[in-house]
Structure 1
Amino acid sequence: MLLFMLKGIPCIYYGEEIGLLNTKFSDISEFRDCDSFNFYDKYVKQDKVFSDKEFLRNSNINSRDAGRSLMQW
């Protein structure tokens, strides 16, 4: 409700209107975002900057797939 008390036109997205939680993925194959796959190939497989566990933890927070998951009724 605080969103509607602010100045300007309210813009609701990413499940704010019903309080959806982000989806937690447990494997790279569950992601659909092409940027996540490219990041995984470059920084985990090729350059070995991140481990699989670090990648999954960061991608669950920052991936665009959180806004593309199924509606949680």
Structure 2
Amino acid sequence: MKFRKSNTLGRPYANGENIIKQGDSGDYLFVIQQGKVEIIDESGDKEIKLAELGKSEFFSEMGLFEKDVRSCTV
């Protein structure tokens, strides 16, 4: 078996692909290595863009501290 040396962790996501979904459970955080993500609130009748994050920013950190469901979709 060959192992590829890599300086990155995680995996790439396609444009428009959900990384986490509001209402799902989770206990880890994500650090953006490249590109941008949108933080979306889907709790009402329509989606509301709350923020846009880019390289070196992180999200989903509350999953490390609280045993609760995701509050937004990313």
Under TM normalisation by the shorter chain, which class is it? under 0.3
Which structure has the highest helix share of the two? 1
Q: Which has the higher contact order (CA 8 A, sep 6+)?
A: 2
The structure where strand makes up a greater share of residues is 2
Structure number with greater Rg is 1
The TM-score, its normalising length taken from structure 1, stands at 0.21
- Structure-2-length-normalised TM-score: 0.21
